[in-house]
């Protein structure tokens, strides 16, 4: 490319870890890219296996924000397609806007490809549903306040008072605080908790089923202190419940635009 033309920078969600959980569009952009910057501390190097020969590939784990955006700008001045490969989904705890603003200032076009979140992957590997009829219909994505403060009204204790599903990111080192805030919000000590370390990473994944009272001890025993999703939900363990409130969608007595209910069919026959 000449100096007056810029390429496009794509922020691609690499998903939770398993390269096969990349979207087809994400794979296509990796294969097309002239330069790829991937978050090596969080994204499996296998995710760049679709890169073409001659593609510039750089690991960003030792780079700060300025170095990352400078690299993206430099490569966009040279190449038509540049990929920033990020863990999970770029819009969740991915510093997306911080990286996009400098590119906007330079007049560089950007695009975003969503990825499978570790919250979804963790529920999947645990064979759990984040919502159940008449149990909870609400899912909150959040994190515990640590070095990064949370806005007023968004403490875990305040959010947990809804007693819905809580997918708690970036908080495994603050598990003691998670326990205390859930208890302060009225959850019981025996409320179920799911913790998944490196959800979907081949050969590295660890799944912990516990309760508020014992989950920290279980995580310590497995030496889990990073890259883990915590899910607190009244739906955890529903696979083993003797009775469930069933979805109306598949109820034989429920009519929708694709299917008449059994009762309605009998009435019209």
**CA–CA separation, 252 vs 260, rounded Å?**
8
User: Quick one: 80 and 138 in the same domain?
Assistant: no
**Tally of domains within the chain:** 2
Question: Over the stretch 219-237, which tens digit does the pLDDT of each residue have?
Answer: 999 999 999 999 999 999 9
Is the pLDDT reported for residue 3 higher than 70? no
Structure tokens at 33: 């890219």
**CA–CA separation, 247 vs 230, rounded Å?**
26
Question: Over the stretch 134-143, which tens digit does the pLDDT of each residue have?
Answer: 999 999 999 9
User: Quick one: 127 and 155 in the same domain?
Assistant: yes
Q: What is the pLDDT of residue 269?
A: 59
Asked if residues 143 and 197 have their Cβ atoms less than 8 Å apart, the reply is no
β-strands 228-232, 192-197 pairing: antiparallel
Distances (CA, A) of 171 to 121, 212, 267: 17, 14, 56
Question: pTM for the whole thing?
Answer: 0.88
81 alpha carbon, distance to own chain's centre: 25
Q: Identify the domain boundary among 56, 82, 113.
A: 113
**Dihedral of alpha carbons 90, 117, 63, 84, sign:** negative
Q: At 107, which CATH number?
A: 3.40.1010.10
Q: Helices marked H in the chain — which ranges? A: 24-32, 65-78, 96-105, 118-125, 156-160, 175-184, 215-221, 262-268
Residue whose C-alpha is closest to residue 211's, from 195, 229, 228: 195
Confidence of residue 253 (pLDDT cuts 50, 70, 90): low
Torsion angle in degrees (nearest 10) through CA of 216, 226, 25, 2: 160
**CA–CA separation, 51 vs 29, rounded Å?**
9
Q: What is the pLDDT of residue 268?
A: 61
Q: What is the pLDDT of residue 224?
A: 96
Q: What is the pLDDT of residue 5?
A: 63
**Is 140 within a domain?**
yes
Q: At 175, which CATH number?
A: 3.30.950.10
**CA–CA separation, 91 vs 100, rounded Å?**
12
Question: What share of the chain has pLDDT > 90, as a percent?
Answer: 80
18: domain range? Answer: 8-113
Confidence of residue 2 (pLDDT cuts 50, 70, 90): very low
Is the pLDDT reported for residue 84 higher than 80? yes
> What is the average pLDDT value for the chain, to the nearest integer?
91
**CA–CA separation, 269 vs 264, rounded Å?**
9
**Is 150 within a domain?**
yes
Question: What share of the chain has pLDDT > 70, as a percent?
Answer: 90
Question: Over the stretch 88-129, which tens digit does the pLDDT of each residue have?
Answer: 999 999 899 999 999 999 999 999 999 999 999 999 999 999
User: Quick one: 140 and 205 in the same domain?
Assistant: yes
Q: What is the pLDDT of residue 255?
A: 67
Is the pLDDT reported for residue 50 higher than 60? yes
Asked if residues 231 and 237 have their Cβ atoms less than 8 Å apart, the reply is no
Q: What is the pLDDT of residue 4?
A: 54
**CA–CA separation, 41 vs 62, rounded Å?**
9
Average pLDDT over residues 52-59: 94
Residue whose C-alpha is closest to residue 113's, from 7, 267, 10, 253: 10
**Dihedral of alpha carbons 65, 66, 68, 73, sign:** positive
């Amino acid at each position: 490319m000449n100096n007056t033309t810029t390429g496009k920078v794509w922020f691609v969600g690499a998903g939770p870890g398993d390269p096969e959980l990349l979207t087809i569009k994400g794979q296509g952009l990796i294969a097309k890219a002239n330069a790829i910057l991937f978050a090596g501390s969080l994204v499996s190097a296998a995710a760049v296996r679709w890169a073409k020969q001659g593609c510039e590939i750089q690991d960003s784990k030792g780079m700060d924000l300025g170095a990352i955006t400078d690299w993206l700008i430099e490569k966009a001045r040279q190449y038509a397609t540049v990929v920033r490969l990020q863990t999970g989904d770029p819009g969740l705890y991915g510093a997306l806007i911080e990286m996009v603003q400098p590119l906007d200032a330079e007049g560089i076009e950007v695009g975003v490809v969503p990825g499978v979140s570790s919250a979804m992957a963790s529920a999947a590997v645990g064979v759990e549903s984040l919502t159940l009829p008449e149990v909870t219909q609400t899912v909150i994505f959040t994190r515990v306040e640590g070095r990064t403060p949370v806005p007023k009204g968004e403490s875990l204790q305040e959010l947990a008072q809804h007693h819905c599903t809580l997918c708690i990111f970036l908080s495994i080192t603050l598990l003691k605080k998670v326990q205390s805030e859930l208890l302060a919000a009225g959850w019981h000590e025996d409320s179920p908790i799911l913790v998944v370390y490196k959800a979907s990473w081949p050969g590295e994944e660890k799944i912990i089923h516990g309760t508020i009272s014992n989950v920290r001890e279980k995580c310590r025993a497995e030496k889990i202190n990073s890259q883990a999703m915590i899910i607190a939900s009244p739906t955890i363990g529903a696979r083993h419940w003797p009775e469930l409130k069933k979805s109306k969608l598949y109820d034989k007595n429920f009519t929708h635009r694709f299917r008449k209910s059994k009762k309605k069919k009998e009435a019209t026959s």
